[in-house]
Amino acid sequence: MTNNTFSKEDFGNDFIWGISSSALQTEGAISSDGKGESNWDVFVTKPNRIANNDTHFVAADFYNNYKTDIALMKEMGIPNFRLSLSWSRILPNGIGTINQKGLDFYHNVIDCCIANGIEPFVTLYHWDLPQELEKKGGWTNREILQWFEEYTRVCVTAFKDKVRYWIVLNEPMVFTGGGYFLGLHAPGKKGFKHFLPALHHAVLCQAIGYHAIKAIAPQAQVGTTYSCSYITPYSAAAKDKKAAHRIDALLNRLFIEPSLGLGYPTDALSFLKKIKKYEYPDDHELMKVTFDFIGIQNYTREVIAHSYFTPYIKAKIIPADKRKVFYTAMDWEVYPEAIYEMVCKFDAYEGVKKILITENGAAFPDEVIDGTIDDHHRSHFIKSYLEQVLIAKKSCSKLSGYFVWSLTDNFEWAEGLKKRFGLIHIDFTTQKRTIKNSGWWYKKFLEES
């Protein structure tokens, strides 16, 4: 046993343990191999978009250090690695000409994983769209259904003999909401005229990606991942409860329910009826898909109050720092019970076969104590959330795995380089790697029983 009240063996021998990363946040935007420009390559060059004007152009330089990073992963005893592919590295223009050097890079990464006894879980799309496609409207252009299918087929054809687990989209609510409604992420567009078509096309691409993978690799395990937050009302007042109901539909129901044949949650969000403008007659059937697994990614809960000043939603999030609770560097409340609640919520859907927690973690400032990277808050976070994961495992039969976010410190989107999630510390000046205390804690947990 570890010092915990539970151990790895309590989860069962077939429970999947791993760690996650994404291409744009770690690789560096190396273009010497023929990579094309992505929407984020353009977005980060605009002033006041990213904290401290940081960029991902070097980031963790995984492109040149993947062997070291995978060796450190092996040293920590991590058996499964969730990574993503950069669409613009493989298809520089988004469609058409294939960049063989880009494919070779990912062959090398996957081969290195396998040689080290690590199973690759490959995400097709983790928010970086080729800029040539963004110029044509990106996710707002229905042609993306064809673009995404072509990209999927190229990737699966290349890696089908090495990759068993595929993830279609990473957190579609975030890249559509953040990129096409709030303008906080690439491409920086705002408003419902962008959000609604982007939302609908992403829902369709979930299913298109699944069927394209299965057509080439029928035995592959195919899923997709959703961000989710446990939603509670600020008070017992009816208006706060109704506001929480609307936010729950927006953050937790919007993408999974159409894929299960339940349609969009218009019961809570009447503005979704405007999607009809972008629907084709067969779309309701086209968007249905029975994934082999669903990934859920939970970090916190959100407390919601009614607001007259927010159009359509009539709700606002009460930030953690205003509620005098313990929170992470992202101003996310540390609320371990949230992950239990979200597992149970997704487990209740009849059409969900299996659930993997494909991201869970926390950003805290790193402290150097006696020459080591002490991040005891992160170790405690992972432990406390895993306690709730175990409770969920015993309650909800579909839960089958857990992945920590993230392998290394990385480019944390609009928050730049200083929000540190990684179990491996990166000095972004020297690219020196150091396993943090949380990494050693995870190693001990995975080894002991």
Q: Which residues are catalytic?
A: 171, 359
Helix pair angle (62-75, 100-115), 10° resolution? 10
Specify whether the CB–CB gap between 37 and 2 falls below 8 A: no
Q: How far is CA 10 from CA 1, 3, 80, 391, in A?
A: 10, 14, 19, 10
- For residue 433, what are the CA distances in angstroms to 48, 67, 370, 413? 29, 12, 17, 21
**Block residue for tokens 């790193």:** 366
What is the greatest pairwise CA distance in the chain?
A: 65
Give buried/exposed letters for 186-200 (b at 16+ CB in 10 A, else e).
bbbbeebebbbbbbb
Query: What's the CA gap between 344 and 371, in Å, rounded?
Result: 42
Contact 102, 47 (CB under 8 A): no
Could you list the beta-strand ranges (E) of 33-148.
80-84, 119-125
The two structure tokens encoding residue 30: 């190396």
